[in-house]
């Protein structure tokens, strides 16, 4: 009986850790800003955006992306849908992957294992360049 209890407790801990970390994905850099949903680049920080396979809505416009090994994380605006890739702006990818902004130490590469989870839109308000901190 004691062994069963330990196994159940260990399983619960693993499940809880996975839930906190988010969904594992391979993140690739996106070199140029674009938005098919009409987000003007002058109204947001274009260095902090994502292009995800899922559609964009008011309920999932902000995601927290974390590098699995380093723990570095950024909140990013999900402003467009991709055809299957998990792309982020090049500067965000560079920072998450290597710990330096692209202007400091530009790197090359492809997919890097990271996790993401949807967070409240207010967590990305600092990325919106309007007085109201809302997209026009």
pLDDT, tens digit (0-9, with 9 covering 90-100), for 27-36 = 999 988 877 7
Q: Is residue 14 part of a domain?
A: no
Q: Is residue 133 part of a domain?
A: no
Query: What is the domain range of residue 29?
Result: 23-127
Q: Is residue 15 part of a domain?
A: no
Q: Is residue 8 part of a domain?
A: no
For the segment 77-104, the average pLDDT, to the nearest whole number, is: 95
Q: pLDDT band at 61, cuts 50/70/90?
A: very high
Q: Is residue 16 part of a domain?
A: no
Q: Is residue 120 part of a domain?
A: yes
What share of residues in the chain are helix, strand, coil (percent, to 5)? 30, 30, 40
Q: Name the one residue in this structure whose structure tokens are 């690739």.
A: 28
| Tokens of residue 132, six digits | 């109201």
CATH assignment of the domain containing 115: 2.40.40.10
Domain count, the chain: 1
Q: Is residue 97 part of a domain?
A: yes
pLDDT, tens digit (0-9, with 9 covering 90-100), for 23-59 = 999 999 998 887 777 788 889 999 999 999 999 888 8
């Amino acid at each position: 009986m004691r062994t069963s209890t330990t196994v159940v407790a260990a399983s619960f801990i693993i499940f809880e850790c996975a839930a906190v970390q988010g969904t594992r994905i391979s993140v690739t850099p996106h070199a140029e800003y674009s938005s098919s949903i009409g987000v003007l680049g002058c109204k947001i920080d274009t260095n902090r955006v994502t292009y995800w396979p899922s559609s964009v809505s008011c309920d999932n416009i902000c995601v927290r992306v974390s590098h699995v090994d380093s723990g570095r994380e950024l909140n990013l605006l999900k402003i467009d849908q991709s055809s299957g890739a998990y792309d982020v702006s090049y500067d965000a990818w560079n920072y998450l992957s290597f710990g330096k902004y692209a202007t400091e130490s530009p790197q090359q590469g492809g997919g890097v294992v990271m996790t993401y989870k949807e967070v409240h839109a207010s967590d990305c308000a600092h990325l919106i360049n309007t007085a109201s901190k809302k997209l026009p």
